[in-house]
């Protein structure tokens, strides 16, 4: 199956871009972050017409919001409020068993960005981000075992490796690549021995990005990117990772998001 994640920065504003992408990539499951719309205004019709008859969403007005769309029916779907906040950042669905691994849970995550100052004393948004990742680490470990087939994907808002950012040294004190965030994401990854689908194929010493700021007048020329968007799988699915793709070209589309889609082909 082909899984795709994309922080769209408003699904209603960019629904036509998503439909174009669907025609090009034909994903089986799509996870979206920053839908930025209440549930009653979600564009169900165009997506159902495109073949995604099974949609699970949790949205709110103006910001955040997550969605999972699938060609395959769900056996179950859930919504989670993290660190005591109903701010629409984590939903999941369970795909029916396709082989001896059993049913596959898909978790769509939108980890908080964390503001601009990497100091929880003066920036409560940064503290919120650290608390969120800490909670996810413990929650995965407390509720699952590494032998269960899970996929976690979305905008994690953390670029964990040296070459996940354009300059490791210059970004060590910039939110998204600070040691506090990286250490916590590493703990979350080790909680179920998750495999990073992108770095499964792309060597860690190779630059790899999924986000370029709107502030860059020529994002391609400056190439000051960060790899904030991820697709992870637990050990039962690791051998089934067949391919990955980052649609960097989408960053050049008219009125597009500052994030680009990330894709993984996984034998589930």
Render each residue's pLDDT in the chain as its tens digit; 268 residues: 999 999 999 999 999 999 999 999 999 999 999 999 999 999 999 999 999 999 999 999 999 999 999 999 998 899 999 999 999 999 999 999 777 678 999 999 999 999 999 999 999 999 999 999 999 999 999 999 999 999 999 999 999 999 999 999 999 999 999 999 999 999 999 999 999 999 999 999 999 999 999 998 899 999 999 999 999 999 999 999 999 999 999 999 999 999 999 999 999 9
pLDDT of residue 100: 65
pLDDT of residue 98: 74
Note whether 257 and 180 are within 8 A (CB). Answer: no
pLDDT of residue 142: 98
> What DSSP letter does each residue of the chain carry, written as one string?
-EEEEEE-S-TTTTHHHHHHHHHHH--SEEEEE---S-GGGS-HHHHHHTT--EEEEE--SSS--EEEEESSPPSEEEEEEETTEEEEEEEEEEEPP-STT--EEEEEEE-----S---TTT-HHHHHHHHHHHHHHHHHHHH--TTS-EEEEEE-----SGGGBS-TTTTTTSTTS-HHHHHHHHHHHHHTT-EEHHHHHS-TTS---SEE-TT-TTHHHH--EE--EEEEE-HHHHTTEEEEEE-GGGGGSTT--SB--EEEEE--
The rounded distance, in Å, linking the Cα atoms of 160 and 153 is 15
Note whether 26 and 47 are within 8 A (CB). Answer: no
Query: Which CATH number belongs to the domain containing residue 125 in this structure?
Result: 3.60.10.10
| Parent domain of 91 | 2-266
pLDDT of residue 216: 87
The rounded distance, in Å, linking the Cα atoms of 102 and 148 is 8
* C-alpha separations of 117 from 44, 107, 112, 127, 178 in Å: 38, 28, 14, 10, 11
* Cα first-last separation, the chain: 7
User: Residue 186 is encoded by which pair of tokens?
Assistant: 């590493």
Total domains present in the chain: 1
pLDDT of residue 11: 98
Quick one: which of 32, 35, 63 has its CA closest to 154?
Answer: 32
């Amino acid at each position: 199956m082909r899984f795709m994640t994309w922080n769209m920065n408003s699904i209603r504003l960019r629904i036509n871009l998503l439909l174009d992408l669907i025609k090009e990539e034909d994903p089986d499951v799509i996870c979206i972050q920053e839908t930025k719309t209440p549930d009653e205004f979600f564009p169900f019709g165009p997506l159902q017409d495109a073949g995604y008859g099974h949609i699970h969403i949790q949205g709110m007005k103006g910001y955040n919001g997550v969605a999972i769309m699938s060609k395959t029916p769900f056996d179950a779907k859930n919504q989670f409020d993290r660190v005591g906040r109903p701010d629409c950042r984590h939903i999941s669905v369970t795909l029916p068993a396709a082989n001896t691994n059993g049913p596959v849970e898909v978790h769509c995550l939108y980890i908080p960005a964390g503001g601009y100052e990497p100091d929880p004393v003066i920036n409560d948004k940064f503290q919120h981000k650290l608390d969120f990742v800490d909670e996810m680490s413990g929650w995965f470990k407390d509720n699952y075992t590494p032998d269960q087939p899970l996929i976690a994907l979305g905008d994690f808002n953390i670029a964990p490796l040296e070459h996940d950012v354009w300059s490791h040294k210059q970004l060590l004190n910039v939110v998204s690549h600070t040691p506090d965030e990286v250490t916590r994401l590493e703990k979350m990854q080790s909680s179920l021995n998750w495999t990073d689908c992108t770095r499964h194929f792309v060597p860690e010493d190779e630059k790899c990005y999924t986000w370029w700021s709107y502030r860059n007048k020529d994002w391609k020329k400056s190439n000051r990117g960060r790899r904030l968007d991820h697709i992870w799988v637990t050990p039962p699915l690791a051998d089934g990772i067949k391919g990955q793709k980052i649609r960097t070209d989408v960053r050049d589309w008219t009125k597009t998001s500052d994030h680009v889609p990330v894709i993984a082909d996984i034998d589930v």
